[in-house]
Homo-oligomer: A and B are copies of this chain.
Amino acid sequence: MHTAGDVRVEDRDDPEIIEPTDAVIRLTATCVCGSDLWPYRGIEPADHTLMGHEYVGVVEEVGSEVRTVKAGDFVVGSFVISDNTCEICRSGYQSGCVHRAFVAGTIGTQAEKARIPYADGTLVATPGQPDEDLIPSLLAASDVLGTGWYGAVAAEAGPGKTVAVVGDGAVGLMAVLAAKQLGAERIIAMSRHPERQKLARYYGATDIIEERGDAGVAKIKELTGGLGAHSVVEAVGTRESTMQAIGATRPGGHMGFVGVNYDVHIPGFELFLAGIHMEGGPAPVRRFLPELIQLIWDRKIDPGKVFDLELPLEQAAEAYKAMDERRAIKALLRP
């Protein structure tokens, strides 16, 4: 991305193994993330930035210390590099790894090939070469599924719980899927787009709320005996959506926030009076990858449906445009 709104596909040198813990992969598929729209819209800076952080592909070469993946393996990787051995990783927070690095901006997986540092700690091999129709779902695991899943886990979605999801983008839809898989009793999706409402229902939403802001909060309270939801996932990242999520969570309830809230300031005293749990940040996708890959492999979940546009990598600019204009939920790119 040369600058906001200006995405170009250009030739770069092929990546090579630098560290013995590196792997070089050839990408089978990649995609555009909702968070890529922040720099696209000029909210985050962009200056010849390497874009893309979601990826699946085939390992071409590994460094001498890599043990868990080898050339020829089909792999899914997290959008955050992690060693998966440090104390933070072992506690399940790989996105806070002492060696953490964000793929976005540093590697850029909207590309044909990529060098992945700490391959053992970042990549997970699938049980075999996947069927073609599983590719979108495996790609989703790399971020949107992993992120939505984390949002639902952070919100403590589970049996007997009412879960509300703020945001009907790919991550929000994946949080609906996760809440369903985690056994939630009732899943409220907040959406005013008919197509996305349909997909939310497909993934397990039991109720749809079209209202936003205070009206949306009031509606959730109405549906929950005046108390608010046990679990709320914030999957947008604006001030309005954040306050909506805080307001919709009952006292003592859990709010998971996974929307990139680039410029949001949370009024501490309102949060204080709400008396809720909050957990969020870049999702520790690596924690969930083995489980998510297996669920996809066994065809128990099909997160790949969030991709409603597929283009060759060369047309990346159009993919950004379609998502920016909300013509597409999420665009898959084929290198």
CA distance A264 to B270 in the complex (A): 10
| Chain A positions 230 through 266: 1 when the CB is less than 8 Å from some CB of chain B, otherwise 0 | 0000000000001000000011100001001111111
| Chain A positions 90 through 102: 1 when the CB is less than 8 Å from some CB of chain B, otherwise 0 | 0111011110000
Q: Which of A56-64, A67-75, A273-281, A318-326 contacts B (4 or more CB under 8 A)?
A: A273-281
Which chain A residues (278-335) contact chain B, with CB distance < 8 Å?
Answer: 278-282, 284
Please state if B257 and A227 are interface contacts (CB–CB under 8 Å).
no
Please state if B277 and A272 are interface contacts (CB–CB under 8 Å).
no
A47 within 8 A of B: no
Please state if B269 and A268 are interface contacts (CB–CB under 8 Å).
no
Please state if A273 and B281 are interface contacts (CB–CB under 8 Å).
yes
A222 within 8 A of B: no
A9 within 8 A of B: no
A271 within 8 A of B: yes
Please state if A268 and B264 are interface contacts (CB–CB under 8 Å).
yes
CA distance A324 to B88 in the complex (A): 41
CA distance A281 to B268 in the complex (A): 10
Partner of A98, one of B87, B227, B277: B227
Please state if A273 and B269 are interface contacts (CB–CB under 8 Å).
no
Please state if A260 and B280 are interface contacts (CB–CB under 8 Å).
no
A226 within 8 A of B: yes
CB distance from A154 to the nearest CB of B (A): 8
Q: For A282, what are the chain B residues with a Cβ–Cβ distance below 8 Å?
A: 272-273, 275
CB distance from A46 to the nearest CB of B (A): 16
A267 within 8 A of B: yes
Q: For A227, what are the chain B residues with a Cβ–Cβ distance below 8 Å?
A: 87-88, 98
Partner of A257, one of B225, B257, B263, B272: B272
Partner of A96, one of B98, B251, B262, B267: B251
Please state if B264 and A93 are interface contacts (CB–CB under 8 Å).
no
Known A88-B250, A98-B227, A250-B88: A266·B266 in contact at CB below 8 Å: yes
Identify which of A93, A251, A260, A281 gathers the most chain B CB atoms within 10 Å of its CB: A251
CA distance A266 to B226 in the complex (A): 27
Please state if A91 and B269 are interface contacts (CB–CB under 8 Å).
no
Please state if A279 and B280 are interface contacts (CB–CB under 8 Å).
no
CA distance A251 to B100 in the complex (A): 11
CA distance A250 to B252 in the complex (A): 23
CA distance A333 to B96 in the complex (A): 48
Residue of B nearest to A44 (CB): B269
Please state if A269 and B278 are interface contacts (CB–CB under 8 Å).
no
Residue of B nearest to A266 (CB): B266
Please state if A268 and B242 are interface contacts (CB–CB under 8 Å).
yes
Residue of B nearest to A277 (CB): B279
CA distance A250 to B178 in the complex (A): 26
Q: Name 5 extra pairs, CB < 8 A, besides A91-B252, A242-B268, A264-B269.
A: A87-B225, A88-B251, A93-B275, A97-B251, A263-B269
Task: List residues of chain A with CB under 8 Å of any chain B CB.
Answer: 87-88, 91-93, 95-98, 225-227, 242, 250-252, 257, 260-269, 271-282, 284
Give 9 A-B contacts (CB < 8 Å), ordered by A residue. Answer: A88-B251, A93-B251, A93-B252, A98-B227, A242-B268, A264-B268, A266-B266, A275-B280, A275-B282
